[in-house]
Amino acid sequence: MEVDFRDFADDNELWLAAVAANATHGLAYTTYDRRRILVEAEKRGISRDVISTAIRMPVEKADKKIADGSAFVKTTAGNRERVALRTALKPLAGNLLTKKQEEANKQSSMKAEYHAEALVKLLRAGLLSWCSKTVRAAVMALHKELAKQV
């Protein structure tokens, strides 16, 4: 096995080398991965030019990805901190997220349309006749929430 021993000045240099190395092999970074990397680089004080080179993205595109794909959360100290948005919450770009939106951003990776269409297809295929009690309970909770909000 070949090993490439390197010394790094600090954690930021190590992190940047790992990001750059992973950008060139294996599975490509997803859009969300790129958003998270850009946000993390900003937190670390790594310039947009440097991180853009590492993830092989033009700076202008990186700027747009941050502007259109990130929002803010309140820290425990009361400050605002930028977070990368998952696709489902992308319409909230630039806003301060509520706690519920922050939690949803940690879990909801697909657009709402995807989930709604998938559930409609399952229901039309007879989901409620063959699903588990927990699925039925979740569908009922969805029904109640839709009744309140729509």
Q: What is the mean pLDDT of residues 87-105?
A: 94
| Alpha carbon distance 31, 83 (integer Å) | 14
pTM: 0.79
Burial (0-12, 13-18, 19+ Cβ within 10 Å), 38: buried
Residue 89's Cα: distance from chain center in Å? 9
Helix 112-124 crosses helix 133-149 at what angle (to 10 degrees)? Answer: 120
Judged against a pLDDT cut of 90, whether residue 61 lies above it is answered with yes
Query: pLDDT of 13-57, one tens digit each?
Result: 999 999 999 998 878 899 999 999 999 999 999 999 999 999 999
Taking the C-alpha atoms of 139, 90, 105 and 133 in order, what is their torsion angle to the nearest 10 degrees?
10
Tokens of 50: 């440097």
